[in-house]
Structure formats: structure tokens, C-alpha cells
Amino acid sequence: MTAHTFFPSGPLTGRIRVPGDKSISHRALMFGALAVGRNRISGLLEGEDVLATAAALRAMGARIDRDGSDWVVDGVGVGGLLQPGEALDMGNSGTSTRLLMGLIASHGITAAFTGDASLSKRPMGRVIDPLSQMGASFTPSPGGTLPLMMEGLQPAVPIEYRLPVASAQVKSAVLLAGLNTPGVTSVIEPVATRDHTERMLRGFGAELSVEEGDGARIIRIHGPADLHPCDIEVPGDPSSAAFFAVAASIVPGSDLVIENVGLNPTRDGIFRVLRQMGADIAFIDEREVGGEPVADLRVRHAVLEGIAVDPAIAPSMIDEFPVLFVAAALARGTTITRGLEELRVKESDRLSAMAAALRLAGAKVEESDDGLTITGTGGTPLPGGGPVTTHLDHRIAMSMAVAGLASGDGVAIDSAEPIATSFPNFIDLIAQAAA
Ligand code: S3P
């Protein structure tokens, strides 16, 4: 592990482009691998998590190659996945693990899943439960974690499944299993989560319907599905753009344009909350890219105000709370967050990791069971310090990097390596924007 210090920067200015959306990149590779024929993907995120998905799909028979700046995927067709010859190493990636478990559940193959120390602590019971109901069998490690072995069943049994937690990964795992399951597989989602799976599967020609009523959504997929090959353009990742939106908001004098940012309403909560706090964020040239709403974001420095964040907005910004906490630490007054117990089972326990990290950097933070309460400086730089522990969590690393930019002495993190899972050129882009 190599420690890295992020020093206070000058204003962030100019125009930057963040890499492709991680959620969409995983799905583009997976659905391409299940289409019959050749798919072309532009803007794919070339982060370690997505490359773990690509490696696993190759091990199950798909051909996936880089072609210039695009990626080309030759799919095997739904039902055509092959028995992998070795364990599937998922690295740090929960999305790869849970979605691929869904795919394999309805194929007659056996697979072993392994991952790094962070992923090996994360709960897999939430996908094992519905996929077992569909007929797959699992031998997980104690506590329902990785490493685990699974055996799919072909044909699997269609189910109707009500999500007990708001999780797009669990929803997607069941829908992906449904692709190769005869009949109708349904997922009932009491709280809307990111809907990239639904949007993209329709684009690939799957028979998928969404019914909305009483606040719940019922998603039905008819299997077995025939997916036709697609050309996909992956928009910039709002979760990556969020680090720069907060950085430009809290570093005085900043005026930064972040181009081509995905603004799917199931993902854009961070920008709505930052605006509620008084951030100066303009959406320019709103358009559609690859079936997803997109805009360029112009972000100018502003003094933020603490607020009580509505817990109902959490699913649309579930990955952005670490960096929101940094914004809160620089705001005037107190920011209160609740209803965030899911943050404890991400790449790290993000409530306790961010509470500890921000305190080390000099912020005033109280931790409750389900949120943080942060009293901000009103715009005065945080003292800084560290090294803070990132727990193999890219978003803790990048959030504290942003805190460093708005600090007196800089913030050190114990390791910058986790950043490569989702945002390999993060440090270069900071240098570019701060130059
Ligand atoms: C993701 C869903 C979310 C999110 C993760 C990506 C996805 O996880 O935190 O980074 O691509 O479906 P949960 O399903 O656990 O909420």
C-alpha cells in the first residue's frame, strides 16, 4: 500500500470528462455476452471492477476485445454460457459478483466466486435467497459470504420476488436469472433503485414490462429471451462526476464544466441535494445518450448550507454519501443524514469509515446507527491530517482526496490503489482541473 497526500489546490477550472458509468458498463458487457452476434461499446469504463466482469464472461465463452477506443463483444446467446475452467475472481466488485450469480443461476453450470478482503465481507445472502428459490444451489462461506460455490439450474423456476432491501443488484440478479427461465419472472420493488437493467434489456429486445402503482414497481421479464446485438454508448458516470461537483463547490474560485454526465433520475440525487444546500450547478445541453438522460454540468464555487437530507432520496445517491459528507463538513451549519444503514455493507462500512476519516481531517462528526450528523466549517478549510484508512474502498479514498483539496495542510490517505476500481484517471483529472 502506498500512501498518498492530496494537498490544497487552486480553483478547479476548464472542462473535464469523467469515465463511463460503472453500472452501465457492467451491464453492457453482460448483455452483449448474451446477445447472438457482435456488439460494440463506446465509452466503456476501463476500471478494475468492469474488467473483472469482462474476464468472467470470457471464462464463460464470450469474446471481448478492445478495438481502438471501443470494445467489441461477441455474445454466446442466452443459455449459451459455458462452464468456466477456473474460479471467477471478482476483485473488489459487488456488482460483478451479484449480477453474474444471477446469470449463472439459470444456466446448467457450476462456478466458484472469489474476491478481495473487502468483497469477502459483503453479504451475498440477499441474492442467494431469491436465486435458491429459482433452483440454484449455493455453498457460501460462513455468514453467506465469498468465497462461494454455486450450481445453476437449467431450466430454472420463475418466481415473483419482493425485494426486502432497496438494491439494484438484487433486482438485476433476479431479472438476469429470468432471462433464461421459461415463463415470467417478476420483481416487486417497493422503492425505486437504478433502472439501467430494465432500460438496457429492453434495448436488447427482451420482453420486459414495468408496472407502477402504490409507489411500488413490478418488473416482469419473459423468458427465455432472445437478445439481439447492440451498439452502446456509455454516458459519463454521475457517481464519478460527484467528486468533482463537490470539489468545485468547496474550493473557492472554481468554475468547472464536467461534460457528458449521466442524469438518470434514479442516479442524480447528489446533484439535487447539493443544489438544496446552495451549490451552483447548471445543467447545460440536456440530451439523451444510449437511452439515458445526459447533460454537461457547470459547477461554480458556493458557500453551502447544512440541511436535513430526506432519507427518501437515498437510493438515488446511495454511492454519493461519502462525498456528500465532505460537502457537509465545509457547509455552514449542520447536515443530518438518516436511513443509511445500507452504507454499512458497501465496499466498507461507509458510515464509520467516513466518520473516522473526517474526524482525522478535523471535521465535527457524530455517528448514529443509520447516518452521520456533521457540523460544517462554513467554508473555512478543514485543518487536514491523516493518513486516513480507506479500507479498500475507492469512494472513501476519493472523498477524502476531495477533502484534501479544501484543507489547510492536505489530507493523506493510506492507499490510493482502490481508486483504480472505478476511476483510474481520477488523480490525473484533479491535476488537469487544478492546473
Ligand atoms: C449498483 C447498485 C448499488 C450501488 C453499486 C452499483 C448496480 O448497489 O451501490 O455501486 O450497478 O446495480 P446495491 O444494489 O447494493 O444498492
Q: Which DSSP symbol is given to 210?
A: E
In contact, 171 and 157? CB cutoff 8 Å:
no
Report which ligand 1 atom has the smallest distance to the Cα of 22: 11
The string of pLDDT tens digits covering residues 41-61 is 999 999 999 999 999 999 999
- Dist. CA 248–CA 331, nearest whole Å: 13
Ligand 1 pocket member 169 (CB < 6 A):
yes
How many A from CA of 375 to the centre of ligand 1? 28
Domain assignments of the chain as residue spans, ordered by start: 4-20+235-434, 22-233
- Dist. CA 16–CA 243, nearest whole Å: 12
Residues marked active site are found at 319
Separate counts of helices (H) and strands (E) for the chain: 12, 22
In contact, 273 and 307? CB cutoff 8 Å:
yes
DSSP code per residue over 1-13: ---EEE------E
Report which ligand 1 atom has the smallest distance to the Cα of 168: 14
Report which ligand 1 atom has the smallest distance to the Cα of 170: 14
Inform me whether the pLDDT recorded for 32 exceeds 80.
yes
In contact, 222 and 207? CB cutoff 8 Å:
yes
Give binding residues for 3-phosphoshikimate as ranges. Answer: 22-23, 27, 167, 169, 319, 346
Helix (H) / strand (E) containing 277 = none
Residue where the block lists cell 402503482: 213
Coil, strand or helix: which one is 420? helix
Closest residue to atom 10 of ligand 1, CA basis: 319
Residue whose C-alpha is closest to residue 30's, from 160, 225, 188, 260 = 225
Inform me whether the pLDDT recorded for 382 exceeds 90.
yes
Pocket test for ligand 1, best of 21, 126, 167, 317 (most atoms within 8 A of CB): 167
Ligand 1 pocket member 167 (CB < 6 A):
yes
Residue 213 confidence (pLDDT) = 83
Q: Does domain 22-233 correspond to CATH entry 3.40.50.1100?
A: no
The string of pLDDT tens digits covering residues 282-301 is 999 999 998 899 999 999 99
- Dist. CA 404–CA 406, nearest whole Å: 5
Residue 2 confidence (pLDDT) = 80
Average pLDDT over residues 236-253: 98
Residue 183 confidence (pLDDT) = 98
Pocket test for ligand 1, best of 95, 101, 124 (most atoms within 8 A of CB): 95
How many A from CA of 435 to the centre of ligand 1? 33
Report which ligand 1 atom has the smallest distance to the Cα of 318: 9
The string of pLDDT tens digits covering residues 2-20 is 899 999 989 999 999 999 9
Give binding residues for phosphoenolpyruvate as ranges. Answer: 22, 94, 122, 169, 350, 395
CATH superfamily of domain region 4-20+235-434: Enolpyruvate transferase domain (3.65.10.10)
Closest residue to atom 13 of ligand 1, CA basis: 167
Rg (CA), the chain: 21
Do 4-20+235-434 and 22-233 share a fold? yes
Closest residue to atom 11 of ligand 1, CA basis: 23
- Dist. CA 202–CA 208, nearest whole Å: 6
Reported for 138-144, long-range contacts at CB under 8 A and 24+ positions apart, including other chains, are none
Residue whose C-alpha is closest to residue 322's, from 415, 411, 246 = 246
In this structure, the strands spanning 36-42 and 231-233 are parallel
